[in-house]
Structure 1
């Protein structure tokens, strides 16, 4: 079967693509820019943009020779041109209308488990499900609980791993101590998609994908901590009010998985209805593994501990570098002209040129520091910071060589700073 998969390079989508390939299906990846992902050599990719492709006519050429469609596309929060209504409703509906016109009858949609009042992420997903359910297609709508994998993480699952790896304590919202999730492995979600395409169905079926054990967040994190090979840590229960404030701040910053949707899902619970496991087994022949078993089948490595620990450390490094650049810019402008020219005595530049250079570099420091703090084009900004630091070191070292002998190591400290920026550049890729 030739299957078109939207969101094919995402966390869940990539597992689904791998499972479809293993089941001998021919996969066509529908992704932004039709970029080829080296993780899937030999697969075909076609361009699509769920934030813009809202008419069936755009989708029809992509369905030539396609037998089934799996929609994994989704966004956790709105940013830039991505809107819930467009990505979760308008674009998928246009795709399904194109399926009707092209004679593609089999559709699988990856939705989300939860309640509409958990936030617009869940509400818009469910509105998209309703639109699909109203169409004359043979469709399976899958609503997974918390999805994890021992073979990698992204977004919320990366944040939870980082919480499990915190030194000395496991921080847990007080409201999430009671059973609130039924975690299911991404590999089992992928098997559910393969089974959905293999079975003969008529009409629309909605299935909740849940693991066999309901867990509180504390137990979930303890299991991951043991898997990472870390020492047992005490539990630190955080008041719900404080968690809400932190999630509200995360929502306003617009970066990362920490936000109000995650907070509400944990408070309200992300559990399947009674009989969800039995229906999954009956209709898909799937018996998902417990978290403990899935982790036992895939032992961790040192790289897993690195990632868990660096997930929160790297943003801290970025912020401190941004603040350093901002402070350097402020100081560069705050110093009097006499102080600047006096500090440059013994160099080859005139006092006027020295002052002009100091003010120009201070302005550039302020600009790069602010852009780094805002995470605007991080690769470009970090590269600019690295080049500027290299220019500082070479230029000052050549024009005022006495600074190499500064007892406070003014120039020598640039070397570890350049290494820190290089680390941020090398770890900038998020998926």
Structure 2
């Protein structure tokens, strides 16, 4: 079966694509810019933009030869043109209307478990579900609970892994009593495959949940054991502090901390009492327990690195940004006489040396600010690395005596170069 998958490169989307491919289906990935993801060699990709493709005419050409569509597109927070209304409601509805016009009967919607009062994310997802339900299609809405992956993580699942991996300490929002029914990402993909194999299972809403109800504390402890870390002292984090951290994350617009995560950390995330039985009855699916899923995929050293670096890398980035800002400030505040004293050897004329010092100070200020704001981070980090390499080579060659500075002024550039290379190498988050 030829299947169009939107949001194909996201965390849930990628597992769905992998499951469909393993089941022998022909997958067409509908992604922004039609970029080819090297994780899926040989798969076709078509361009789409869930923020702008809000007319059925936008989708009709992409449905040529398609027999079913699976919508995995979603955002945790709004940013620019990527609004909940566009990505969760208008664009999916345009796609599903195009399906009706093109004769593509089967439409599967990956939604989210929760209640509309949990926030704008859930409310918009459910409005998108309702719009699909009003169409004459063989639709099926799947609403996953907290989705995790033992073979990789993204967003909120990465954050929870990182909390579980903190050295000697396990912070618990509230007291960690929130109840969850987590489901493995592989089982979400299996549910989509099973749904396509059972066309009679249509016009229904199924909650994708795991078989066990766990407290957040037990969930984090399970991941800590899986990572191979020792016992930790638990620390109850008061609810107001949790809300403050989530509000700050929402304001900054980066990472999984935000209003959506705040609701889950306060209310938990449970399905209906018969959700697991309905999955087995309707799809023949028996999701694995967290314990079994983790036992089937033992952790590797890379998992431990990722958990421990999750909070460390942002701190390293901020410290680098502050270093560049400080360097720029010092460069501008240094009196001209002190700058020109370095021109005594005659390598550069005094006016040229002063202009160069002020220009590099301005560049330091600009790059430090952009790094702090995370504007095009790969480009900014690359420019910072290039500047540092340029400083080191130029000063080390023109004034080699600086290598012998008792405070190691030039030698300190070497670990800074390594730190920037590390930030640049780990900038990719998906």
Q: TM-score, normalised by structure 2?
A: 0.98
Rounded to whole Å, the distance in 1 between the matches of 2:74 and 2:177 is: 28
TM superposition shift of 1:355? 1.3
CA distance in 2, matches of 1:413, 1:427: 22
Contact kept? 1:46, 1:62, Cα under 8 Å? yes
Alignment of 1:255-404 (within 5 A): 255-404=254-403
Distance 1:62 1:334 in 2: 58
Whether the 8 Å CA contact 1:326–1:366 is kept in 2: the answer is: yes
Separation in structure 1 between the aligned mates of residue 202 and residue 122 of structure 2, nearest angstrom: 23
Aligned position for 2:417? 418
- How many Å apart are 1:200 and its aligned residue? 2.9
Number of equivalent positions? 430
How far the C-alpha of 1:342 sits from its partner, in A, is: 2.3
SS of 1:153's equivalent in the other structure is: coil
Quote the offset at 1:349 in angstroms.
1.5
2: CA distance, partners of 1:218 / 1:58 = 46
Equivalent residue, structure 1, for 2:4: 4
Aligned-residue offset at 1:397: 2.1
1:247 aligns to what?
246
Q: Secondary structure at the match of 1:53?
A: coil
- Superposed CA offset, 1:221-273 (max 9, x none): 10001001111112111000111111111111100001121111221221111
TM-superposed deviation, 1:398? 2.7
**1:94-152 deviation digits (Å, cap 9, x = unpaired):** 00000000000001100000111221111100000010011111111000100001010
Q: Distance in 2 between matches of 1:11 and 1:75?
A: 11
- Residues 148-163 of structure 1 aligned to structure 2 (within 5 Å): 148-163=148-163
The question of whether the paired residues in 2 share the 8 Å contact of 1:185 and 1:291 is answered with yes
Question: Unmatched 5+ residue regions in structure 2?
Answer: none
Aligned to 1:96: 96
* Cα separation, 1, equivalents of 2:38 and 2:379: 23
Question: What SS does the corresponding residue of 1:4 show, helix, strand or coil?
Answer: strand
Is 1:41 the counterpart of 2:20? The answer is no
The change in CA–CA distance for 1:115 and 1:344 in structure 2 (over 3 A counts) is farther
1:272 aligned counterpart, secondary structure: coil
| Runs of at least 5 residues in structure 1 that lack an aligned partner in the other structure | none
Q: Deviations over 1:170-214 (max 9, x none)?
A: 111016x22421000001111111111111337521011111111
- What is residue 16 of structure 1 aligned with on the other side? 16
Partner secondary structure for residue 46 of structure 1: strand
SS of equivalent residue, structure 2 residue 170: strand
Q: Aligned with 1:345: secondary structure?
A: helix
Please give the secondary structure, in 2, of the residue aligned with 1:232.
coil
- Is the CA contact 1:181–1:266 (under 8 Å) kept in the aligned structure 2? no
Which residue number corresponds to residue 58 of structure 1?
A: 58
* Distance in structure 1 (CA, Å) of the matches to 2:160 and 2:343: 50
Q: Distance in 2 between matches of 1:136 and 1:165?
A: 48
Match of 1:112 in 2: 112
- After superposing on structure 2, the runs of 4+ consecutive aligned residues of structure 1 that deviate more than 4 Å are none
Asked if structure 1 preserves the Cα contact closer than 8 Å seen for 2:178 and 2:266, the reply is: no
CA–CA separation in structure 1 for the residues paired with 2:105 and 2:271: 28
Q: Is the 8 A contact 1:179 1:214 kept in 2?
A: no
Q: Determine the structure 2 residue equivalent to 1:121.
A: 121
Find the aligned partners of 1:81 and 1:326 in 2 and give their Cα distance.
31
In the alignment, what sits opposite 1:238? 237
| Aligned position for 2:85 | 85
DSSP 3-state at the match of 2:388: helix
Higher deviation after alignment, 290-299 or 351-360 = 351-360
Q: Is the 8 A contact 2:195 2:201 kept in 1?
A: no
